[in-house]
Amino acid sequence: MDIDRVRYFCVLAKTGSITKASEVLKISQPALSKAMKRLESETGLQLTEREGRGLVLTEAGQMFLQDVEPLLHSWLNLGSLRNGLRQPSEADFFRVGSFEVFTTYFLNVLFKGFPSRSLVLQEFLPGQLEQAISQNRTDVGITYVPIPTSKVVFKEVTKIVMGVFGSKTFLFKQGDPPFVVPLAPLEGTPSKVVGLDGWPDHQFPRRYEYRVTLMQSAIEICSQGLALAYLPEFVVALYNQKAASKYQLVQYPCAISEKQRRQSVYIVHRQGEKEGPEIRAVARALRSLA
């Protein structure tokens, strides 16, 4: 069995995405897919299966990962051991999963109070996040769109305020103003909210002018005066600190009440797991955003 294919599989298992894994490994997606098929042929196991746009481990894949990871780390550490050095083991890392709202603009807050243990940041959509936690592919999650999942519990730690934002130069006189909205719809949420930004479209329909995958793309569209977006106030405040004056965003009137614009933020972890210093550090950092 080729050690590189085992290494590719471990990276793929952690990222849950052919695209992200190929970027980390710096190989092409077709080459990675071919390597995974070869590994499945060698082992006689189906290791992964598709879930939405991502990949999840099958039961056989989870067992295979548990067996090969220690062996892989031992192999990779051989060179360092010869030089009196040691590469970090999986136990040295604490994995935090969330989506772009927190992984992009929350980092400087999180790093200030995080324990010395090495940190791994993973990005998931709601639903994928809960699955990653239940399958032990990440240690703790951060979300404001909880998707009920077995073996996973949610703890509300704070609330963030949302608002409608756009450029100072945004001008729109007739009809409903254009919005830029998340491309990925939500599935499995107990509320009627279907968008990743948490806007209640069932109550206040919007005019969708642009659809984007990344919140950063939405902010760029807004900064050019092309549309409005429903964004967390803390994100806009952090963005404005670095943006030139002409590109800064300002808040616009919103049909949603102030109470309804306060979104609960949850820490997500596996059922029965105790809160260690890392989870407490994440909770403290989140509370500082309020």
CATH number, position 22 = 1.10.10.10
Domain end marker among 87, 116, 144: 87
Mean per-residue pLDDT, 23-35: 87
Residue 269 has pLDDT above 70, yes or no: yes
User: In terms of C-beta density within 10 A (0-12 exposed, 13-18 middle, 19 or more buried), how is residue 176 classed?
Assistant: exposed
Same domain? 126 vs 104: yes
- What is the spatial distance between Cα 140 and Cα 153, in angstroms, rounded to a whole number? 10
Mean per-residue pLDDT, 273-283: 87
- Residue 74 is part of which domain span? 3-87
Residue 77's pLDDT band, with cuts at 50, 70 and 90, is low
Same domain? 246 vs 288: yes
> Which residue did the predictor score with more confidence, 80 or 33?
33
In 3D, which of 135, 108, 60, 113 has the Cα closest to residue 282? 113
Domain end marker among 54, 72, 87: 87
Residue 244's pLDDT band, with cuts at 50, 70 and 90, is very high
For the residues of 60-106, what is the DSSP string, one character each? HHHHHHHHHHHHHHHHHHHHHHHTT--PPPGGGEEEEEE-HHHHHHS
Same domain? 62 vs 158: no
- What is the spatial distance between Cα 133 and Cα 187, in angstroms, rounded to a whole number? 17
Same domain? 122 vs 194: yes
Same domain? 247 vs 289: yes
Same domain? 104 vs 78: no
Tokens 């071919």 belong to residue: 34
Residue 11 has pLDDT above 60, yes or no: yes
Read off the pLDDT of residues 135-148 as tens digits, 9 standing for 90 and up: 988 999 999 888 88
Same domain? 107 vs 192: yes
Same domain? 12 vs 151: no
- What is the spatial distance between Cα 200 and Cα 87, in angstroms, rounded to a whole number? 47
Reading the block at residue 150, the tokens are: 């077995």
Beta strands (DSSP E) in the chain are 48-51, 54-57, 93-98, 118-123, 140-143, 152-167, 178-182, 207-212, 229-232, 249-252, 262-270
Q: What pLDDT is stored for residue 221 in this prediction?
A: 95
| Cβ-based neighbour number of residue 5 at 10 Å | 19
